Every structure is written in C-alpha cells, then in structure tokens.
Structure 1
Amino acid sequence: MTLCFCLFAFFCFLSKIFAICAFATCGGYYGHLQVKVDCADRRQGNLSINIDFGYPFRLQEVHFKAPLCEGKREEIIFLDGDFSTAAQFFLTVGVFAFLYSLLATIVYVFYQNKYLKNNRGPLVDFVVTIIFSFMWLVSSCCWAKSLSDIKTATNPTQVLLLISACRAQENKCTATQEPLWSRLNTSAVFGFVNVALWVGNIWFVFKETGWYKTGQRYPTRSASGKRGSEMRQRLYSESSFDQPEESLGPQPSRQNSFQSVKGEFWSAGPQTR
C-alpha cells in the first residue's frame, strides 16, 4: 500500500472509533433527578420524587407524581420539550458514518486496484466524504443546542416550579440529586472531533481524484516564472539591437550598384579606330 492509502486507512480507523464513541455516549444515556417536597402541615413531609429520562429525550412524555400538600392528593406533572429529532439525527449520522468507514477500510486494503480504476472510486469517495463532513457539522451543532435545552428543561429549579406545592412559600422543596451530564457532554465533543476528521480526510481523498492529477500533469506557470521569462526576452531584444554604428550606415541600393558596374565595363572595353 502507498503512503496515501495508509493515511486513508488510518483516518478510517479513527473515524470508526470516534463515530462509535459519539453515538454510544448519546444513545445509551440515562439521567436521574430527585427532588424532595416538605409540606408545611407535616402531614406529608420528606416526600422524595424520582424523575428518570433518557434517549431519545422526549421529555414531554416523562411524568411524575407530586403531592399537593392539601390532604393526601397528588398531581401528575410532565416535563417540557421534545428533543428527539436532534438526538436521533446525531445518532443516525454516527451509525452511517461508522458503516461507511468500515466499508472504505475494506476497499482501501483489499480492493485498491478496483478503487483506482477509471477514477470512479476516488470521485465517489470524495463526494461522500464531503457529504459526511457536512452532516457531522450540522448534526453536532443541532445536538449541542438541544443538549443545552435538555439541561435547562431538567434543571432542578425549573422542575420545582412545575410542582404546585413548591410554588407555595410555606412549603419547602429541594433537589437531592441532579443528573450527570459528563456523558452527553462527551458525545457532543466526539461529534465535533468527527467533523475535524472528515474535513481533514477531504484533502487526502482529493489527491487521488483525476482533478488533482490533471492539475499536477499540466502545472500553471507561477508569477516568478513569468517574470523570469519576461526578463530573458527583454535581455535578448536589447542584445539583438545593440550593434556598432558603422553597420547601421546607409547601404547602396541594387540599382546604383548595377549602374556602377555597367559604367566600368564600357570604360574598360576595346577602343575602335
């Protein structure tokens, strides 16, 4: 394998690893939030409320029961927001990027000759690499924005405001456990790492296309080369006209030379009596 194909295989290997890390950390997330409600009448005190959520983050479907602190009644409360679109889009891009990287690695290693035949393989690879670079960028930005909104929707302060008993000043509500965001933060970081990997791979794929090779076969003259050519032409022109003044004097015409030779012939001819 050539150095370029070795770099291809290396980038594909990194792409597979970081793609797995991206969709695994996002798709397998499980968050847990716990709050405690202490009613003023002490009939219902120290009530812990557990709130669980996870991928695909349809928070409007997540509900929990909270006491009303008025008798023994309870209310059912739903969280706000649906962030499944961004999360599923991010995960889908990661899965397809992993599958394509796996296929590309197999082609680079075992079918290198067919890949370079008729320049179709590099052109297809170049276009697909650009598409995945763009898709990674869009999905990573959308997921980062949705992650920020998920943190806001599951903020303990925001959740406590949804509970009617916590809006009464005589009752005391606190958050005893907050979600851990390190895993989702890592998934967003892996998304942007994949953007950098796929954008960097565009150059290596482009070097194998016919467009790059055609440009290398017929290189354009640089500005320094043009200036050198103009200088050589100027020097040649000056040297061709730099002759002695004697050579530039007037020369006799052909008619004058003929008349001079004719006169000499008659003067040198035989004298008749």
Structure 2
Amino acid sequence: MMTGFRLNLSPLKEPLGFIKLVEWLTAIFAFGSCGGYSGRNIISLFCGNGTNETLTAAISYPFRLNQVSLVEGNMTFCNHTAGPTHLVGDSASSAEFFVGVAVVCFLYSMVALLVYLGYMHVYKDSDFGPIIDFLVTAALAFLWLACSSAWAKGLQNVKDATGDAGIASALDVCARSDVTCRVTEFAGLRSLNVSVVFGFLNLCVWAGNAWFVYKETRWHSQKYAAQPAPTRSQVPAAI
C-alpha cells in the first residue's frame, strides 16, 4: 500500500471534504468573536442635589467579572462613601470552554483536510482511519452542544451583571434613596451574540458531518452488505 503524499483536491467537491472546510471556517468565527472581545460600560450616578458622577466597567474575555473593578478604593459619590467594589459573577469557565472547543475543532479540521487532500488513498484503504474520524467528529459535535449551551448561559450572566440591575446590586451607594444608578453607555455585545450563533451552527455542521464520515466506515458498508438482495419471482415459461 502506497502511503506517500498525493495531492488530490477532488474531496473538496464531495460532502466529506467540503463540510470539513466549512467547519474550519466556522470554528475561526466562533473563537474569534468570543476570545478577542473587549468593551466597557459607562455608569452614571445621578445625585439628588443635581450633580452626576461617572464610573467605568471594562469587560473583556474571559469575563471574570468579579475581578472587574468599579471602585478601586474608598471614594465619595453623592456625599456617600463607597469602598472597593467589583462586578458580580464569573463566566470564565464557560467562555474558556467554548473557545477551547473551537480551537480544538479548528486544529482537527486542518489535520483532517490534510489527510483528505493528501492521504485519501490511505484513508480509504484503512478500517481505522474512517472509524477514528467518525468517533472524533461525533465527540466534537457533542462538545459543541455542551459548550454552546454553557456559553449562552454565561453570556446571559454577563448581560445581567453589567445591566442596570446588576450594577445597582453590586454598588452599595445605588441603594441610597437620593442616588439613581444607570448604565448610560453599554459595551457592544453583538460579537458575543454572534459567537453563540456560530456555536450552535457548528453543532449542526459537525453533527451533519458525522453522518458522511460514518458512511466511510466499515460499519456502514457491513450494514448494507448484510441486507439480502431482492429476489425476482420466477415466471413460468409459456407452453
């Protein structure tokens, strides 16, 4: 059996190779839209005497909100003293899980494309190549379901913690009757919303790709080989 590299672009014209290329691209969009995020919220404190105070909350990946400082030291706002204050919550585990799965899928897609385009003759002749490919593809599809669901919940926690209610619960001075706290400038979360969409899109793409990889395994071929061929009824010869 020849095992040398043989460049052949024809797999890209078939679902097996084309979907792997799509997976490579969607993985890039998934971890790029989440892992590179940074933004800030501007919080305005409207005092009863007519004056205003302003605070800034910087938000960035991996969204350890409990380390984001609102008030760094003892400060006075609207004649009330506030001690060191941070945002509430920590979405780092779900965000890092999401980005980690996306990076793994990005790397695996590149390796799979290399095999498809250069070693398809080895892949086709081996029982273990398609089986391993199928098991890994199915496992990654499940991981997309898990990490996308976790990150969707984590993103909602980020939105809650950085909204008006979340800021008011974190900052004690906002509980004063003569102080109104409001987020007057929100960090754009559009890219994070896009990352969740791409997460579930990856789930669909990888789940669909698992079927086409399964068709390359011996399990699929043995299933159809075991089915009896339809028999034709014998027509009596005319006398």
The residue aligned with 2:76 is 67
- Per chain length, whose mean CA-contact separation is higher, i.e. which structure has more relative contact order (CA < 8 Å, sep 6+)? 2
Secondary structure, aligned partner of 2:48: coil
Secondary structure, aligned partner of 2:127: helix
Report whether the alignment pairs 1:165 with 2:170.
no
Report whether the alignment pairs 1:126 with 2:146.
no
The residue aligned with 1:76 is 84
TM-score (structure 1 length as normaliser): 0.75
Secondary structure, aligned partner of 1:203: helix
Contact preservation (8 Å) 2:163, 2:183 = no
**Residue range with higher mean Cα deviation, 11-20 or 161-170:** 161-170
Distance apart, 1:165 and its partner CA: 2.5
Q: CA RMSD in A?
A: 2.3
The residue aligned with 1:192 is 200
The letter for the 2-side match of 1:67 is T
Between the aligned partners of 2:180 and 2:164, the Cα distance in structure 1 is 14
For each residue in 1:121-170, what CA deviation from the matched residue of structure 2 results, as whole angstroms up to 9, or x when unmatched?
11110111111111111111111111111111111232023323321222
Higher helix share: 1
> Number of matched residues?
225
From the superposition, tell whether residues 155 and 220 of structure 1 become closer, same or farther in structure 2 (CA, over 3 Å): farther
Distance apart, 1:80 and its partner CA: 1.0
In structure 2, stretches of 5+ residues that fail to align are 1-7
Contact preservation (8 Å) 2:44, 2:181 = yes
Distance apart, 1:75 and its partner CA: 2.2
Between the aligned partners of 1:60 and 1:205, the Cα distance in structure 2 is 44
**Residue range with higher mean Cα deviation, 74-83 or 32-41:** 32-41
The residue aligned with 2:3 is none
Between the aligned partners of 2:127 and 2:110, the Cα distance in structure 1 is 21
Contact preservation (8 Å) 2:137, 2:210 = yes
Report whether the alignment pairs 1:18 with 2:4.
no
Between the aligned partners of 1:172 and 1:203, the Cα distance in structure 2 is 56
- Greater radius of gyration (CA): 1
The residue aligned with 2:116 is 108
Report whether the alignment pairs 1:145 with 2:137.
no
Between the aligned partners of 1:46 and 1:16, the Cα distance in structure 2 is 49
> Equivalent of 1:28, from 29, 36, 49?
36
Report whether the alignment pairs 1:46 with 2:52.
yes
In structure 1, stretches of 5+ residues that fail to align are 237-273
The residue aligned with 1:203 is 211
Contact preservation (8 Å) 1:130, 1:199 = yes
TM-score (structure 2 length as normaliser): 0.85
Secondary structure, aligned partner of 1:159: helix
Between the aligned partners of 2:135 and 2:172, the Cα distance in structure 1 is 55
**Residue range with higher mean Cα deviation, 133-142 or 2-11:** 2-11
The letter for the 2-side match of 1:199 is A
